[in-house]
Structure 1
Amino acid sequence: MPFINIKTNVEVTAEKADSIKSALGLAITAIPGKSEGWLMVGIEDKYKLYFKGTEEPAAMVEVSIYGNASSNALGVLTSNITGILLDNLGISTDRVYVSYMSTPDWGWNGSNF
């Protein structure tokens, strides 16, 4: 039950959004037990975002997961995410932050897991 939300000051076309969504579906498998089958992706483009005092292309990526993941798995996922944003939107990897939130409680379909 992962959720990946991307906020970026770059415009994201429908074609690029679909490409990013698909790439994230593969990338999430860096975390054992996670798959595209339960992945939700949000993309907020043209977001008013400043990094290092400029409006150069940048992104803030928030990853929420049900349960826990190892630091190694999260490191692989960070590398995958930054690579996806570089390849699809031209955002330099040093202009992307990725934050993680793990929770033991996750609601779906009217109840919690």
Structure 2
Amino acid sequence: MTVDYRDPTHIMLTDSPIDQSKVSEANKTLAKWLRQKMYGVDVRESLAMLAEQTSADVYDDRQTVQNYKNHANNEEQALHNLANKLSQEFENVLNAKSDYVKMFPEDTVTA
């Protein structure tokens, strides 16, 4: 397989589309090692660590999402329980009024 390298220009740090404020210190260290380590074994180890760090970041993100989902489900259940309770209380008020009307029909105002 032949490779056709056509861009002779160097990548400048100022050309980076990456927002460095969002890059973890661990990833910054690994990137520094990839750029500066002299021996191939160290570069390969840096790449392996970068893969592991990326996996750990993805795992943490998934845990965060799951925690938010659980919280949302709990809130939804609490809201559902509150709606049921209010509905039951409203039903009790209506039943009490109906019972009152049956017991004291002369107090009932008709339109």
Same fold (TM over 0.5): no
Instruction: Give TM class, smaller chain.
Output: under 0.3
Answer 1 or 2: which has greater strand percent: 1
> Which one has the largest radius of gyration?
2
Which fold has the larger relative contact order, with Cα–Cα distance below 8 Å and residues 6 or more apart in sequence? 1
